[in-house]
Structure 1
Amino acid sequence: MKQLIATGALALAMLAGPVQAQDADTSQVTEMTMGPADAKVTIIEYASFTCPHCASFHNGPLKELKADYIETDKVHFIYRDVYFDRFGLWASMVARCGGEEKFFGISDMLYEQQREWTNGQPAEIAENLRRIGKVAGIEPDALDACLNDEAKAKALVAWYQENAEAHEVNSTPTLIINEQKYSNMAYDELKGIIDEKLAE
């Protein structure tokens, strides 16, 4: 499980300076979701595109969760970004560049290819991310515009900070199931928790 670093240092590492609430318009950040909003169970996943444990969750348990609960309208799933480093932020900006309709498809590619695209110097990583975006059907000019959108970057970091503080998230993946916090777990355990909440 990957541990978070201090948010002030995180912002400094990714941007020119720390993000101040008044400098970032978090209202422009779209919540990425799957499943009906009125489902009995809501799961919020806090994850980072550079976190190996998050990749394991997305490449395994999340696929089962989608088939068993999300696509059967039993669970409303919300994905929320956590940024350990600038590369996770860049990946998020590429995933979001495709809009809501492409976000989870690009996310799957980012997690499936995590070892490949995170390997190299910053310029190589940026190019790797552009390549994933292109495969997803995003035009090169649009990708460059997304990656260079400083206002969006600041908004995403501020949004992440607000959410992580509200739910006291200090590692990833963290799951919030009907407002109760859980650490990463095997799918059988997650299934048991969901079934229990559906039966309440």
Structure 2
Amino acid sequence: MNRILPVIAIVLALVAAGAWWLTQGGQTPEPQQTSVSATSGAGVDAAQDDAAQGDVIEMVLGDADAPVTLIEYASFTCPHCATFHEQVFRSLKADYIDTGKVKMVFRDVYFDRVGLWASMVARCGGAERFWGMTDLMMKTQSDWARSGDPVAITAELKKIGRLAGLDDTQLQACMQDEDKAKSLVAWSEKNMGTHDVKGTPTLIINGTKHPNMSYSDLKPILDAQIGG
């Protein structure tokens, strides 16, 4: 679980960086011969809820009428979140989301400007590309998130965006959108305040807050809610 940074510090870090790291990172390596489907992670019965809060879209996966709503508060740079995605989310999706039992909501948390940049790229293609890019970002987090070099980080994020079908013009526009960055940070802070989120990943299951847990611990909680 990571400590939440003050929101104003994140915004100031983004603004202070200006466009330098974007323009310096303009020349990026060609993407590897892998691909991210525009609907990767969506599932046959998944429904994306595009209802925006202000100009921020809530990223939702699963049946809108599912008996259980699970909100995950996560950061793209949080190692525990990457582990949760790899060890819990995949089984959760197969057993509960794809079967219409659970609707999952992913809410971004920003510890640092790198996490904010990643979120802006993941959201750049809209809800239909978000889950595929999130999957790849979490899977490769250790490769891109901790290099310490803003140019290298943005190059890797752009590579992920291109694998999802976005071009450099789209990615540049998304990553330079300071108004969207400020909206995302304000939206995240409001959400965290609502559920008193102190670290990630934090789970809200039908309104009740739970800490990070294994899939074996999560299953009985979900089953109890479904059975009830």
User: What TM-score bracket applies, with the shorter chain setting the length?
Assistant: over 0.9
The CA deviation at 1:5 is 2.0
| Structure-1 residue corresponding to 2:22 | none
1:108 alignment partner, one of 135, 140, 145? 135
The CA deviation at 1:98 is 1.4
Contact 2:5 2:110 survives alignment (8 Å): no
| Structure-1 residue corresponding to 2:157 | 129
CA 1:39/1:26 → structure 2, altered by over 3 Å: closer, same or farther? Answer: closer
Q: In 1, Cα distance between the equivalents of 2:209 and 2:13?
A: 28
Q: In 1, Cα distance between the equivalents of 2:174 and 2:8?
A: 24
SS of structure 1 residue aligned to 2:57: coil
SS of structure 2 residue aligned to 1:15: helix
Amino acid in the other structure paired with 2:118: A
1:160 alignment partner, one of 188, 193, 197? 188
Contact 2:5 2:112 survives alignment (8 Å): no
| Structure-2 residue corresponding to 1:185 | 213
Q: Are residue 75 (structure 1) and residue 91 (structure 2) matched?
A: no
Contact 1:49 1:111 survives alignment (8 Å): yes
**Partner deviation per Cα, 1:37-66 (whole Å, 9 max, x = no partner):** 221100000000000000000111000000
SS of structure 2 residue aligned to 1:171: coil
Q: In 1, Cα distance between the equivalents of 2:115 and 2:80?
A: 14
TM-score after normalising by structure 1: 0.92
| Structure-1 residue corresponding to 2:6 | 6
Give the structure with the higher percent helix: 1
SS of structure 2 residue aligned to 1:46: strand
Contact 1:61 1:186 survives alignment (8 Å): yes
Q: In 1, Cα distance between the equivalents of 2:181 and 2:7?
A: 14
- Any stretches of 5+ residues in structure 1 without a counterpart? 17-24
Contact 1:45 1:174 survives alignment (8 Å): yes
Q: Are residue 171 (structure 1) and residue 199 (structure 2) matched?
A: yes
Contact 2:144 2:156 survives alignment (8 Å): yes
Q: In 2, Cα distance between the equivalents of 1:84 and 1:139?
A: 27
Q: Are residue 66 (structure 1) and residue 126 (structure 2) matched?
A: no
- Any stretches of 5+ residues in structure 2 without a counterpart? 17-51
Q: In 1, Cα distance between the equivalents of 2:212 and 2:64?
A: 23
Count of residue pairs brought into register by the alignment: 192
Contact 2:7 2:186 survives alignment (8 Å): no
Runs of 4+ in 1 over 4 A off after TM superposition: none
| Structure-1 residue corresponding to 2:48 | none
| Structure-2 residue corresponding to 1:15 | 15
2:82 alignment partner, one of 38, 55, 63? 55
Contact 2:68 2:225 survives alignment (8 Å): yes
**Partner deviation per Cα, 1:75-108 (whole Å, 9 max, x = no partner):** 0100000000111011001100111111000000
Amino acid in the other structure paired with 1:27: G
Amino acid in the other structure paired with 1:13: A
The CA deviation at 1:26 is 5.1
Report sequence identity in percent: 52
Q: Are residue 33 (structure 1) and residue 60 (structure 2) matched?
A: yes
* Aligned alpha-carbon RMSD (Å): 1.3
Contact 1:49 1:110 survives alignment (8 Å): yes
SS of structure 1 residue aligned to 2:204: strand
